[in-house]
Chain A
């Protein structure tokens, strides 16, 4: 089932161009975890190198780690149960961590969380580094905890996350269905950071991925200087709620 709400591919702000040289570029292996700081005015493109990618993401205000992505505030401000271009990703303080400025696949899940160790060993079999070296099977929760610990964060900071490239729709009875054909090779999503953000990523499989095989996919990261949301901007102008959310964010950066 494809998104009936609108076009699959949507761009609301310029993608990286030759006039905007890349700040950096990095490959994330399948099953990898990663964290980094994205400053206000930086944009990041996540590209699915292979079909079927999933990138779990947790976001925190790098200047005050108590402020973090809030799934509920993001969804109810924009009257949506999924994320795509034109949406803002809200913190729990009424501010915008990042804007989604381009999206080739039309739907990113933020309801379903991440996999855990018992799920991964139960579905795919237990593995250890000793035998598998770096091909041992990773799970989303431990991957996140691994990165969070580097910033003094931990179990208290495991928030409801975003699963980029994954589509999970909800039927009339509330039942969830995972679309295994959703993410194609080359699909991308652009995030424009509106505050200094600690971004934590893991490329583990989506927890509802029904595949019997352990097969997380690699993604590519590319960052460039885009500037923050301009005065007239499709994400800001999407709804009155977002106008106030960007205003609240900009109050932190006026001095």
Chain B
């Protein structure tokens, strides 16, 4: 099901199932079935896309940044990276990536972390974790903050140096770049199209993204 690093997976893609635009700062929740292909497009460039995955049939199994990093021996996600669950399973694999690398250490912004990182007066600003919580409430599966582990930030650039420094840097993405994943199980996808205005993760200008899902080929 997974393919070799760097080889586009389009040969095994079926009909287009979904094609949606997510406005800047909005959440999105949807299901990608086993074998289907999910593409996220950074339409205007340098837009962080905070993303979580759950086993659609048992949401206590969910994406785990630590398991993913440890299993591949690398902190950056790109073509060939298996996205692993808290139970060690490969949930999806990145099969194509025109951006180059993606972050899974930087987490999602929240009202509370904004007070720490920027200023107490930033508490009111819209955030990814508010998006996540509201989307889960609307979804109605009795999921809550317990269900928000460390996430993936597609298109976000958080370089780490060998002496252990970490920073949020200007993005390496650009308009039209995309990342594509094939699901190995039925997954629930939770996205916050990041509304952060206080650091360069969105180039200080959050913009829309596009979601496409193809049937299994």
Residues of chain A touching chain B, judged by Cβ–Cβ distance below 8 Å, are 1, 3-5, 66, 70-73, 75-77, 79-82, 90, 92-95, 107, 111-114, 116, 118-119, 141, 154-161, 169-176, 207-208, 241-242, 244-245, 247-248
Does any Cβ of A come within 8 Å of B150's Cβ?
yes
Q: Which residues does chain A contribute within 8 Å of B158, judged by CB atoms?
A: 76
Nearest residue, chain B, Cβ from A167: B164
The reply to whether A176 and B150 form a contact with Cβ atoms under 8 Å apart is no
Across the interface, B112 reaches (CB within 8 A) one of A76, A94, A118, A173, namely A94
Contacts A71-B105, A159-B149 given; indicate if A113 touches B113 (C-beta within 8 A). no
Contacts A5-B163, A94-B113, A172-B162 given; indicate if A72 touches B108 (C-beta within 8 A). yes
Nearest residue, chain B, Cβ from A84: B164
Does any Cβ of A come within 8 Å of B75's Cβ?
yes
Across the interface, A107 reaches (CB within 8 A) one of B64, B101, B107, B164, namely B164
Mostly, the A contact residues are loop
A168 to chain B, nearest CB (A): 9
Does any Cβ of A come within 8 Å of B70's Cβ?
yes
In the bound complex, CA of A195 to CA of B163 (Å): 30
A44 to chain B, nearest CB (A): 23
Most buried by B among A174, A176, A208: A174
A-B pair number, CB within 8 angstroms: 151
The reply to whether A241 and B117 form a contact with Cβ atoms under 8 Å apart is yes
Q: Which residues does chain B contribute within 8 Å of A81, judged by CB atoms?
A: 105, 160-161, 164-166
The reply to whether A174 and B67 form a contact with Cβ atoms under 8 Å apart is no
Does any Cβ of A come within 8 Å of B3's Cβ?
no
The reply to whether B116 and A80 form a contact with Cβ atoms under 8 Å apart is no
Across the interface, B105 reaches (CB within 8 A) one of A92, A111, A241, namely A111
Residues of chain B from 115 to 148 with CB closer than 8 A to chain A in the complex: 115-117, 119-120, 129, 144-148
Q: Which residues does chain A contribute within 8 Å of B107, judged by CB atoms?
A: 70-73, 76
Q: Which residues does chain A contribute within 8 Å of B110, judged by CB atoms?
A: 73, 92, 94
Q: How large is the interface on B (under 10, 10 to 19, 20 to 34, 35 or more residues)?
A: 35 or more
Q: Which residues does chain A contribute within 8 Å of B129, judged by CB atoms?
A: 92
Across the interface, A156 reaches (CB within 8 A) one of B66, B74, B76, B147, namely B147
The reply to whether B162 and A170 form a contact with Cβ atoms under 8 Å apart is yes
* A–B Cβ pairs within 8 angstroms, 6 of them: A4-B163, A71-B150, A73-B107, A77-B117, A159-B150, A241-B116
In the bound complex, CA of A71 to CA of B59 (Å): 21
The reply to whether A118 and B149 form a contact with Cβ atoms under 8 Å apart is no
The reply to whether A80 and B164 form a contact with Cβ atoms under 8 Å apart is yes
In the bound complex, CA of A116 to CA of B89 (Å): 11
Nearest residue, chain B, Cβ from A174: B76
Q: Which residues does chain A contribute within 8 Å of B61, judged by CB atoms?
A: 155
B160 to chain A, nearest CB (A): 4
Task: Please provide the 3 A-B residue pairs with the shortest distance between their CB atoms, ordered closest to farther.
Answer: A72-B107, A113-B66, A94-B112
Q: Which residues does chain B contribute within 8 Å of A66, judged by CB atoms?
A: 144-146
The reply to whether A160 and B65 form a contact with Cβ atoms under 8 Å apart is yes
A102 to chain B, nearest CB (A): 18
In the bound complex, CA of A81 to CA of B168 (Å): 12
Q: Which residues does chain A contribute within 8 Å of B166, judged by CB atoms?
A: 75-76, 79-81
In the bound complex, CA of A116 to CA of B64 (Å): 13
Contacts A173-B74, A174-B101 given; indicate if A116 touches B164 (C-beta within 8 A). no
Q: Which residues does chain B contribute within 8 Å of A248, judged by CB atoms?
A: 112, 115-116
Q: Which residues does chain B contribute within 8 Å of A241, judged by CB atoms?
A: 116-117
Does any Cβ of A come within 8 Å of B60's Cβ?
yes
In the bound complex, CA of A181 to CA of B100 (Å): 33
In the bound complex, CA of A114 to CA of B65 (Å): 12
Q: Which residues does chain A contribute within 8 Å of B150, judged by CB atoms?
A: 70-72, 159-160
